[in-house]
A and B are shown apart, each in its own frame.
Chain A
Amino acid sequence: MPWVQDPQPVQFLTPDGDFAPNESAQAFAAELESLDLVALQEMYRDMALTRAFDTECTNLQRQGQLALWVPSVGQEGAQVGSARAALPQDHIFPSYREHAVARIRGVNLVNVVAQFRGVTHGGWDVTDPAHGNFHLYTLVIGSQALHATGFALSQVLDATKKAGEKDLPAGAQGRETNEATIVYFGDGATSQGDVNEAMIFAASYQTPQLFFVQNNKWAISVPVERQARTPIYRRAAGFGLKSIQIDGNDILASYAVSNRMLKDARAGGGPQFIEALTYRIGAHTTSDDPTKYRENEELLEWQAKDPIRRFEKYIKSQGAEDSFFEQVAADAGELALKIRDGVLHMPVPEPGAMFKHVYAEEHPVMQGQAAWLERYENSFEAGESA
């Protein structure tokens, strides 16, 4: 007899693409009402284009054009569903695998590749409204969870001030903010102190926040059972977060539960947590070989649960026509070419760039070293011409 009886993970679409909401899904069914065929097709397109992008980037890495690539294949359903539930005013803090979310929020995918090409540690202007408040990738596992919580706390402080109040009493209810913050991370990150501290701070200040863990079963080579011996979503409940486990390969489950939780968070319902059960079909990054640490049967089992294939079947049943899929395939091919072209023509930064933004304000060491490097480089040119 288990200590706690877990409900079924929320699921609307079976792996075969049949719309058959399970018991856990019933409570969220209303969230899908606003999704017409146009919206559903857009979500399909999001997933398909991201996969094409992803495949192209893996190819570019294999061809020596990228130092590294971080594939998201298999996780598109979890990502697209949640990202489509976000409103424009929401802020999003990714880890480094949320390519689908980046695209949906308006970031040019060529810029997402830039850091893997070795030309930047960032890649896009987070202050540009066209980029949908999509923050930079963070490579130290779980660090971004605290940045997200701090940002969500700022949303609480803004709303508190707007209400003409000056206190945040311990134990107080959340406050309506009309905007929320989403943070993405993986199952490995849940072992990091920062993710746990982020949940503690979020609960303490009742931040308008959605913690979205993509439990893809593997932290590089280490199975999730090494990180957690309870379902991860239960831990969040222990911190006082509203927490639900979903079938992460069901884009409708991801959309419906994210939509409900984000609405609740914006309305003052406090921090929320989704554990999306999914699977990393590819490697952690192009630097590792999954055949060394996991069984092929497991891969086959999850390939059969592919989020794109099942959604394709579903939207066909909803009236999507062949011409739509043909168009998406053509767009995907075009995107891949655009990415390849963008990567191959990506400019290398000027040598002085490394000194330029270390500090926001003038700094004598940066000025001195930048000037020295310039003189040093110029000394070679002078030597050549002499």
Chain B
Amino acid sequence: MSEAEVVNMPIAKAINEGLRRAMADNDRVILMGEDIGTLGGVFRVTDALQAEFGSARVLDTPLAESGIIGSAIGLAMNGYRPVCEIQFDGFIFPGFDQITSQLAKLTSRHDGLLNFPVVIRVPYGGHIGAVEHHQESPEAYFAHTPGLRLVSPSTANDAYWMIQQAIASNDPVMFFEPKAKYWAKGDVALEGEPLGLHKTRVARIGKDVTVVGHGAMVPVLLQAAQVAQSEGTSIEVLDLRSISPIDYDPILESVRKTGRLVVAQEAPGSVSVGSEIAATVAEKAFYSLQAPVLRVSGYDTPFPPAKLEGLYLPDADRVLEAVDRTLSY
């Protein structure tokens, strides 16, 4: 790959560029959401796209999440590929019925005769010091729902490619964007063959303990691995990328090597994505495990007021505490 094809940009810009390219490639791709047009979204992820493609392809909708998802379903029935923006994680619930009881089930209800290629973009997670409902990680609700696909990029390169892959998918895809990392820059390879949408990625090679997470958790895990290295512990970091389905092969392969697994997430730990990974690894790699699989997560409380979020959100120290515990077996 030539250097000219690699551009350094923030994650928000990478998604913007991915959307632009998907829209240019296919005129059935449309964007819909609150404030995404003239404003370019509250995080500016859709910046300048309405000016470029017109207000009939970048639709500022009325302020109603169920309305956005429900009408996206109707648009998909006529061959459109709507990309919906939910302004903040905690605002997705007015659309919950349309996502879980309608969108997720419609392919099956139609015996596969109609496709529902709807993408739902959800800026999610904490670390931005915001008010209630603006820092949540609701992905487990949707990972529990058959018929949906869930992904979350942690790098600019993945953000650029995965949004395009999500739009190209003929299934509904929920695209969880780590909003705290919108401004984190990374190299984006504008050409070439991207990793599959539902593949787990080895973000750092190690041999003593495997840690796995997604979205904004990944940089925290990498930071923890860095610190651990200085203390003589080699951590392998896996970037989940796909929350549903989960690509278990790289996780199992890593656990067979390290014998230890820590699963980290911002969401509350009970009945979570981390719980599912722990159960599956216990089932499929039981004889490789040297210690119980440990979860590091938010507490089973509502997301706390911003002044307490530093205590709630797993940081490198909490990850390392779990790493130490797993090594103590």
Contacts and interface: CB of A to CB of B under 8 A. Distances in A.
B64 interface: yes
Interface stretch (A66-74, A82-90, A353-361): A353-361
A194 B66 CA distance: 7
Contacts of B117: 360
Contact of B110 (A136, A158, A359): A136
A121 B101 CA distance: 12
B62 interface: yes
Contacts of A149: 67, 70-71, 74
Contact of A358 (B67, B80, B107): B107
Nearest to B149: A359
A145 B98 CA distance: 11
A325 interface: no
Interface stretch (B49-57, B186-194, B214-222): B49-57
Contacts of B147: 358-359
A-side interface size class = 35 or more
A127 interface: yes
A59 interface: no
A146 B71 CA distance: 5
B107 A150 contact: no
A122 B75 CA distance: 19
Contacts of A146: 66-67, 69-71, 73-74, 98
A193 B66 contact: yes
Nearest to B67: A197
Given A126-B114, A127-B113, A200 B62 contact: yes
Given A135-B77, A360-B112, 13 more contacts: A125-B113, A127-B113, A143-B102, A146-B66, A154-B78, A157-B30, A157-B56, A193-B66, A194-B70, A194-B97, A197-B66, A356-B111, A361-B169
A364 B245 contact: yes
B78 A357 contact: no
Interface residues of B, number: 50
B72 interface: yes
Contacts of B66: 146, 193-194, 197
Contact of A127 (B30, B56, B59, B114): B114
A150 B149 CA distance: 22
Nearest to A145: B70
Contacts of B109: 121-122, 136
Given A166-B57, A359-B171, A360-B107, A200 B80 contact: no
B20 interface: no
Contacts of A150: 70-77
B169 A158 contact: no
Nearest to A205: B59
10 contacts: A136-B110, A143-B70, A146-B71, A153-B74, A154-B74, A167-B55, A201-B64, A201-B71, A360-B116, A360-B171
B170 interface: yes
Contacts of A201: 61-62, 64, 67, 71
Contacts of B55: 166-169
Contact of A140 (B61, B101, B111, B170): B101
Interface in B29-65: 30, 53-57, 59-62, 64
A358 B111 CA distance: 8
B127 interface: no
B75 A357 contact: no
Contacts of A363: 245
Nearest to A169: B55
Contacts of A200: 62, 64, 67
B74 A148 contact: yes
Interface in B69-104: 69-80, 94, 97-98, 101-102
A24 B110 CA distance: 41
B105 interface: yes
A152 interface: yes
B121 to A, nearest CB: 17
A198 interface: yes
List the 4 closest pairs (A to B, CB-CB), nearest first.
Answer: A150-B74, A146-B70, A166-B54, A150-B71
B108 interface: yes
B63 to A, nearest CB: 9
Nearest to B146: A358
Contact of B62 (A155, A161, A197, A364): A197
Interface in A234-262: none
Contacts of B115: 360
Given A168-B56, A194-B70, A361-B169, A147 B77 contact: yes
